[in-house]
Homo-oligomer: A and B are copies of this chain.
């Protein structure tokens, strides 16, 4: 009895844990239970909000199967399992559209939170999107060029400058020779002196494309330096002159664009290049 009790007490996992457990166990489950497992993983919201009857119908099983499923996972009944899905639903972000609404109408209790939510959402969506938009082959080829480069020149102005400087930080940590082009004292052109086809230039720019960036990247390309561009459109001048180019589009919120997605691409690019270099 004590054992039973402690068993039950111990098995109040959070949603993530439960999810992992379901995925892990699905293989060894009988047919119908596996069917429920799959449904549960794919439609957590249904589990949270539906009734045993409605969920069973949607999953194509009998209501009792759901109870058996829950019991197979160590719960007393389906309701106990469901409560975990419900808790998760509550713990999601506060609905920021809601809160904007009440901000406008009633007391401005948390103006910062709304802004934060807006920028967060825009950034996260941008990051998720690159997984779909990014060309894997271009990416791998770009990393290969960087891996083989003698010196990696880094170019980015305005909003792109933080990304360029972050790349400088990354290549510093990875111990790969690089140079951040700052165009200080308008010496941009001379910063490329000595560069050749054995080097590479990573040029970053987004609309409206900074003329200085385009100019210097073009100059490098004409010198024979392979250019890798990170930019936001096929029509970008940086796309044309590049040996390889990567498309990264950041979503807008209140007229500002983050760099979250660009940073993810930069990190992946730098680490893959380092890996390729280490491999030979």
Q: Is A5 an interface residue (CB 8 A)?
A: no
This chain: how many copies in the complex? Answer: 2
CB pair B49 A90 closer than 8 Å:
yes
Whether B139 lies near A112 (C-beta < 8 A) is yes
Q: A128-B96, A161-B169, A162-B169 are in contact. Are A116 and B134 (CB under 8 A)?
A: yes
Note all chain B residues with C-beta closer than 8 A to A44: 95, 98
CB distance from A80 to the nearest CB of B (A): 15
Does A222 belong to the interface (CB within 8 Å)? Answer: no
Please judge, given known A-B contacts A263-B260, A272-B111, whether A116 and B89 are in contact too, CB under 8 Å.
Answer: no
- A173 touching B92 in the complex, CB below 8 Å, given contacts A127-B123, A134-B116, A136-B110: no
Chain B: CB-nearest residue to A105 = B23
Q: Mark A98-142, 1 if CB is under 8 A from B, else 0.
A: 110101010000111101111111011001101100101001100
**Which stretch in A64-72, A187-195, A234-242, A251-259 binds the other chain?**
A251-259
User: What is the CB-to-nearest-CB distance from A126 to chain B, in angstroms, rounded to a whole number?
Assistant: 10
Number of A positions contacting B (CB below 8 A): 69
A17 CB to closest chain B CB (Å) equals 12
CB pair A267–B103 under 8 Å, yes or no, is: no
**Complex interface: chain B residues within 8 A of A121 (CB):** 93
Residue A143 at the B interface, CB < 8 A?
yes
Q: Give complex CA distance A97, B259 in Å.
A: 20
Does A198 belong to the interface (CB within 8 Å)? no
CB interface residues, A 258-280, toward B, < 8 Å: 258-260, 263-265, 267-269, 271-272, 275
Asked if B268 and A119 sit within 8 Å, CB to CB, the answer is yes
When each residue 194-228 of chain A gets 1 if its CB lies under 8 Å from chain B and 0 otherwise, what string results? Answer: 00000000000000000000000000000000000
Residue numbers in B under 8 Å from A16 (CB-CB): 97, 101
Using CB atoms, name the residue of chain B closest to A112: B139
**A256 and B131 form a contact (CB under 8 A):** no
Bound Cα distance A256, B172 (Å): 12
Which residues of B have CB within 8 Å of A158?
169
A191 to B220 Cα, complex, angstroms? 34
Sampled A-B contacts (14; CB under 8 Å): A49-B90, A93-B121, A93-B131, A112-B268, A115-B272, A116-B130, A116-B134, A116-B139, A116-B264, A116-B268, A158-B169, A162-B165, A253-B267, A254-B271
* Shortest Cβ-Cβ A-B pairs, 4 listed: A162-B162, A260-B260, A115-B268, A112-B139
A residues near B (Cβ < 8 Å) are 16, 19, 23, 44-45, 48-49, 86, 88-90, 92-93, 95-99, 101, 103, 105, 110-113, 115-121, 123-124, 127-128, 130-131, 134, 136, 139-140, 143, 158-159, 161-163, 165-166, 169-170, 173, 253-256, 258-260, 263-265, 267-269, 271-272, 275
